[in-house]
Structure 1
Amino acid sequence: MHKTLPQQLFYILFFVLLAACRQSGSPIGDLLFKQTKNKVYKEVNTDSLHTYFKNYLETNTNLFKNPKYLTRFYTNANFEPVLITKFYADSSLFRLIDFLKRVEEHGLSTRSYKADTLYDALVQLSGRKDMKVDEAYACIVRAELLAAEALTRYAFALEYGMTNPRKVLPRYYIPVSRPDSVSFDRVLSVENLKHYLDSIQPKSGAYRAMQKALINENHGAKKIALIANMERLRWKYKMDSTHLIYVNIPAYQLYIIRDRSTKGQMKVVVGKADGHETPMLASKIHSVQVNPIWNIPTSIAKKEILVQAKADKYYLANHGMDVYRRGVKIANPDTIDWSVYNEENLPYSFKQQPGNTNSLGLIKFLFKNGSSVYLHDTPAKAVFSRSMRAASHGCVRVEKPLDLARALFGEGEKYDLIKEEMSSEEPVAKTIGLKPQVPVVLDYVTCKMDSSSTLKFYPDVYKLDSLLYRSLK
């Protein structure tokens, strides 16, 4: 039957109104009505909710730690309250609150996670019986974003550490993984929140021992050390323990690790806590120099070598030190009147030739880094008998350099050459390459579990525990 124009308009209007009626509800509205029996959720409109959600995010970026990641995630999710949709009905979000209230077990501050605020927001979803629909939108969006903020903060703190050590600690150059947009999306996209929250709890024996010890430490240096070292254990950085040279600065120890177990260790001397602190870094030992030449740094030349030269005109000659001016070697440095120079006007540079008096000893172990540090021998053996061995200018002096060379090169031609050259009566600097290169890590750990599963504490020689502790509070 042919329809007239008014009839056609009637049918168009009818279908528009029918579509609008179908849109009047929403999945989240249906879910919340089922859970709360509050009829206001029957009025929740999907498009209106999305618009409110988008506008709220745009105007409240200052409320969130990662507003860029948050906005990106919810834009891709079409501004749906995904966490409430998945985890409100089964009470998983209340399980999250239980974890948030126990963050002090990890040495973290409850203030950062707003567990009570999130709890109140979830309870408010039940709503007053006279609640208006615009208030319902506000309750849904606020609860969703508080949950997203709390969950991502908590997950990242446990999986990556709460702090970025490269931003908090001076001279920290070990690459660590930090959360990015991908990890942000991964956390907010989990399908089983209860399982996920259980899975991210640190499970190492050392971490759990520190958690247990923390219960009995109300204050003092041990509490600070426990909290700081739990944070260190949460940082993510790759350490190849198939063959590794590992130095723990506060312990003044070097560990030779093969196949994930310690095969040897020796005492070390590290940088003084006066501006000469040994940096924390990861690199690879690529070569050694037997009977090294020491290009004396300008700072040491001005503050130490000049003082010695003023006190004893034969000091330089007796210690195998050559003097240079503008790159030209001085033939008779004994004739220089050192009394006329000071730190501001010293025009000379210095090199110490190989020999028993060389401050680098008979061998140095080289690896790329931006701090010009290396492992090396030393003629000053007495310092290894001290309990406090923060006494160098930043490099790491090793107690048993020949043992370290053997651990790196193994028995064979190169090791035999090193041993022969180190005992030569006419020492000449010689560089010997190491292939494959061996990873080396200079780390700073003041509490660790020993072989008997007992926690051992070391002095916070650079006061880095205190620095970390304050950043976590």
Structure 2
Amino acid sequence: MQLIGCLSLAVVLVQAAADPPRKTDPLPTTAHSTSITWASPDTLPAALQALLNDTVASPSHRLVRWHDLRATRAFYARRAYAPAWPAGPDPHAPGQTALGLLLQAEDYGLQAANYHAPALRALAALLAQPDTNSARRLGRQARFEVLLTDGLVRFAQHLHQGQLRECTPSPLEKPNSLFDAGAWLTQALAAPDFSLALLRCQPQQREYQLLQQALARWLHQPATTKSQAWQRRAQQMAVTLERWRWHAIPMPDSDYVLVNLPAYALEVVRRGQAVQTQRLIIGKPDSPTPTLSSQLKAFTLTPEWRVPYSIASRELLPKLRDNPGFAAKNNYVIYNAKGEPIEARSVDWWDVRPERFPYTIKQKPGKGNALGTAIFRFTNPYEIFLHATSRPHDFALAYRALGHGCIRLEHPRRLATFLLGADSTQAALPPEGVAEAAPSPRRYALRRQVPLHVRYATCAVVAGQLHFYPDVYQQDELLRQQLFGSALVAKAPAPRPATLLLHQLAGGGQTVNFNQQGVHPSLPKP
């Protein structure tokens, strides 16, 4: 597995179960390297200090390559090189507890081998046995200590920021308070429950936590249920967890609006619970809806639509050429370069070229308006927004990647009512019939801004069920290869239109229910 990162990441080049060889080829010495004879330390703190300060493969000890030597050194320097992980036969010893976390890295969408887990397990087995050679035992204890710390530092970093973006701050971090995995490990070690404290570095929002728990249950099934399809689904969950670490939701206990593009779904989340869900129509694969975070500050009922240049020149121009009366019939008003309204029939549209379209087109509020009855604008560099639609029958379709990039809502008034506040009612909005009878834009400024998060998650736990969604924008496979390598399970075929109608939530997904023991009764078929 190859990971992209800014640190010097490497695998362990140590056979922990073996004794040190008599002769080892040394690495090139740097200006700051010191060669220390491995047999010289006679206490574990001294052995730890010697091993951490020795960057040369001296003839008397194994070569160790670090994931983050600087953080590991700092961890022990803060402790005056006192050991942190006593190893032994006691399964509740701190070292065994910490090693158990690394051995279960797959439960978090990670791979145990990336955190020295195989070497650590071998060392732990050796340390559980009696050994009359005190120097050899001391060397093993020192290697167990530093490898475990180094693995835990990297484990915490990956849990917090993801494996492929180690240099990119998480959305959970403040500008002047970047995540320090070594310091976090120190704090976790001092906590009453080490594992719980360490794992708090993960995103805490419900979407991540529920999916991580579902992945752990998925992996801990009887071996007879595991198949190629099972493995592919496990990796799909791991890929989604990686994305959530990149785009975690800050302050998950507050209210927010979440759009999941592959699910074609919007959820309103209040204090960690989904209180509203509705279906969506998103951008087509050739004009995909981007992921982003912003704030909902206002919305407008019965809005006017200013037709984007690309749509006016590429889609409306051919219709005007065929029939200039198309404009009046659909409530479009055409403006010349001076901003003056003109009659569509006064223009020879066959002389107008798409690449030089000198007109502005707006659509009046009311019936047939492409924005429908409401628009929810928010700051973003893509000029997209949430809005209603004049084609409500599209929400019955299974495949709903049909738009130009904006997000169409099935129930815009429900979202509007939520945004107006907890004490608002439908009476705060004009009745739909009244608004349609006399359509004119009416803007509502919100007293409180509500975070909006648009995300891409091809699996999610919704109402206690694990759902798998089609990779509508084909974004999973490249990320899967980066995390797990290309030589793996065959890619699942795209669902045929005839089968799309059978999928869950009219979104092409598959659903898995877990029983009370946390085990699903049957695997979904690919």
Query: If the length of structure 2 is used for normalisation, what is the TM-score?
Result: 0.65
C-alpha distance 109-240 of structure 1, shift in aligned 2 (>3 A): closer
The residue type equivalent to 1:149 in the other structure is D
1:423 aligned to 2:436? yes
Aligned residue for 2:380? Answer: 369
Greater Cα offset, 349-358 or 189-198? 189-198
Identify the match of residue 87 of structure 1 among 77, 85, 88. 85
Question: Structure 1, residues 235-289: CA drift from partner, whole Å, max 9, x if none?
Answer: 6422555544333322222234445444433222112122x22223333321111
Report how far residue 386 of structure 1 moved. Answer: 0.6
**Is contact 2:184–2:198 with CA below 8 Å preserved after alignment?**
no
Written as runs of structure 1 = structure 2, the 5 A alignment for 1:12-23 is none
1:219 aligned to 2:228? yes
Aligned residue for 2:408? Answer: 397
Aligned residue for 1:24? Answer: none
The residue type equivalent to 1:147 in the other structure is L
Distance in 2, Cα, partners of 1:224 & 1:49: 37
Written as runs of structure 1 = structure 2, the 5 A alignment for 1:11-90 is 40-42=40-42, 53-54=52-53, 56=55, 64-66=66-68, 69=71, 77=78, 81-82=81-82, 85-88=83-86
Report how far residue 51 of structure 1 moved. Answer: 8.2
Distance in 2, Cα, partners of 1:39 & 1:462: 58
Identify the match of residue 458 of structure 1 among 452, 469, 476. 469
Distance in 1, Cα, partners of 2:187 & 2:252: 31
Aligned residue for 2:23? Answer: none
Is the helix fraction higher in 1 or 2?
1
> Which of structures 1 and 2 has the larger relative contact order (alpha carbons within 8 angstroms, sep 6+)?
1
Written as runs of structure 1 = structure 2, the 5 A alignment for 1:320-331 is 320-326=331-337, 328-331=339-342
Query: If the length of structure 1 is used for normalisation, what is the TM-score?
Result: 0.71
* Secondary structure, aligned partner of 1:228: helix
* Secondary structure, aligned partner of 2:185: helix
C-alpha distance 77-115 of structure 1, shift in aligned 2 (>3 A): same
Aligned residue for 1:175? Answer: 171
Percent identity of equivalent pairs: 24
C-alpha distance 50-438 of structure 1, shift in aligned 2 (>3 A): closer
Written as runs of structure 1 = structure 2, the 5 A alignment for 1:35-434 is 40-42=40-42, 53-54=52-53, 56=55, 64-66=66-68, 69=71, 77=78, 81-82=81-82, 85-88=83-86, 92-93=94-95, 95-118=97-120, 145-164=146-165, 175-177=171-173, 180-188=178-186, 190-191=188-189, 195-197=193-195, 199-200=197-198, 204=209, 206-214=211-219, 215=221, 216-220=225-229, 221-231=232-242, 236-240=248-252, 243-274=255-286, 276-326=287-337, 328-409=339-420, 411=424, 415-417=428-430, 419=432, 422-425=435-438, 427-434=439-446
Distance in 2, Cα, partners of 1:298 & 1:70: 56
Report how far residue 383 of structure 1 moved. Answer: 0.7
Distance in 2, Cα, partners of 1:223 & 1:52: 38
The residue type equivalent to 1:156 in the other structure is Q
The residue type equivalent to 1:151 in the other structure is L
* Secondary structure, aligned partner of 1:442: strand
* Secondary structure, aligned partner of 2:383: coil
Report how far residue 417 of structure 1 moved. Answer: 3.8
* Secondary structure, aligned partner of 1:157: helix
C-alpha distance 465-175 of structure 1, shift in aligned 2 (>3 A): same
Greater Cα offset, 395-404 or 435-444? 435-444
Unaligned runs of 5+ in 2: 1-37, 57-63, 485-526
**Is contact 1:69–1:181 with CA below 8 Å preserved after alignment?**
no
Report how far residue 87 of structure 1 moved. Answer: 1.7
Aligned residue for 1:23? Answer: none
* Secondary structure, aligned partner of 2:310: helix
Report how far residue 379 of structure 1 moved. Answer: 0.7
Aligned residue for 1:442? Answer: 454
C-alpha distance 243-422 of structure 1, shift in aligned 2 (>3 A): farther
The residue type equivalent to 1:436 in the other structure is R
Distance in 1, Cα, partners of 2:179 & 2:374: 46
Greater Cα offset, 414-423 or 351-360? 414-423
C-alpha distance 210-147 of structure 1, shift in aligned 2 (>3 A): closer
Report how far residue 419 of structure 1 moved. Answer: 4.3
**Is contact 1:294–1:358 with CA below 8 Å preserved after alignment?**
yes
- Higher Cα Rg, which structure: 1
**Is contact 2:304–2:441 with CA below 8 Å preserved after alignment?**
yes
Q: How many pairs are equivalent?
A: 415
Report how far residue 208 of structure 1 moved. Answer: 2.6
C-alpha distance 122-325 of structure 1, shift in aligned 2 (>3 A): farther
Report how far residue 234 of structure 1 moved. Answer: 5.8
Distance in 2, Cα, partners of 1:329 & 1:315: 19
* Secondary structure, aligned partner of 2:228: coil
Greater Cα offset, 411-420 or 147-156? 411-420
Question: Structure 1, residues 432-459: CA drift from partner, whole Å, max 9, x if none?
Answer: 21212333333333333343x3322222
**Is contact 2:154–2:181 with CA below 8 Å preserved after alignment?**
no
Greater Cα offset, 373-382 or 224-233? 224-233
Question: Structure 1, residues 49-85: CA drift from partner, whole Å, max 9, x if none?
Answer: 868845739xxxx9555566556656x649x545xx2
Distance in 1, Cα, partners of 2:133 & 2:322: 91
C-alpha distance 99-357 of structure 1, shift in aligned 2 (>3 A): same
Distance in 2, Cα, partners of 1:120 & 1:464: 38
Report how far residue 364 of structure 1 moved. Answer: 0.6
C-alpha distance 459-258 of structure 1, shift in aligned 2 (>3 A): same
The residue type equivalent to 1:394 in the other structure is G
C-alpha distance 447-330 of structure 1, shift in aligned 2 (>3 A): same
Q: CA RMSD in A?
A: 4.3
Distance in 2, Cα, partners of 1:111 & 1:122: 15
* Secondary structure, aligned partner of 2:429: helix
* Secondary structure, aligned partner of 1:462: coil
Distance in 2, Cα, partners of 1:121 & 1:296: 67
Distance in 2, Cα, partners of 1:333 & 1:346: 14
C-alpha distance 195-457 of structure 1, shift in aligned 2 (>3 A): same
